[in-house]
Structure 1
């Protein structure tokens, strides 16, 4: 009989230790959550943050605030769309001719009557780890002091986008790597 009591006590102690081993971190003996109340009880699951900034560091918005662009009014958006509609056919002609030189893109924009100080054109940036730039040109045309028509001319496409300018850099975001 005495052997049975020891076995039962040892078994109960083993179960208690096993249950405490599965307890939530920072629980102590006597805590209500240290031992589950039923075999089917599952531990609480903390919800992970969701949304566009779920994986971003806490200061992501502050660090990238300089990239924020002005919101365009409906009138400014229409102005930008009209300008984009003039720009696209000229850049499509360059692409069809296989001319991706920044100087040619600059000339095509000037030929539309856009003032030189409103135009910015650069060569494509080389991919990280490579020295040679791919064929193409990146451009920006500033309008109405708040808007930009930005894009590029490449062998595989012509991109034309209407967006607001940024207070820190204007139309073309500077290369930061």
Structure 2
């Protein structure tokens, strides 16, 4: 018998002062059986950093044709393709061909090694942005994981704070690649 996803409910109060985006999101996260709490919380972080009306969790680990999160416009065109972890070169180049913007949020202790081996080969991907979530941060986020979460997220001057009843985690992302601008 196949293992089923574990469902997490999240009430996310978001104040993104950098983008003037203020909203409450009621989210349902299905944690794939092979996914850790750490990865799931980084997915939630990626959602918070890019939140919009049309941003949704995709099938991700369950379907190789979909990212973890995406934003499609009303015509079905993919505006944002968001990956969590360390996707391979082929997957990222394919995503760059399909979406207007591709974002990656890596988070493991070996992220620097992953990017060192991949970075030069992805220079031609002009619409790719790669961020690294420091290990201490992703592990602090993992400790916040609960089946029912009420979280407050504040984003200001490029910094993010995620707060629950008892914890606050400050997130300072490390830029590994920014998109090419003309």
Fold match, TM over 0.5? no
Indicate the structure with greater strand content: 2
Indicate the structure with greater helix content: 1
Q: What TM-score range do you get, normalising by the shorter chain?
A: under 0.3
Q: Which has the larger radius of gyration?
A: 1
State the TM-score, normalizing by the size of structure 2: 0.24
Structure with more relative contact order (C-alpha pairs < 8 Å, separation 6 or more): 2
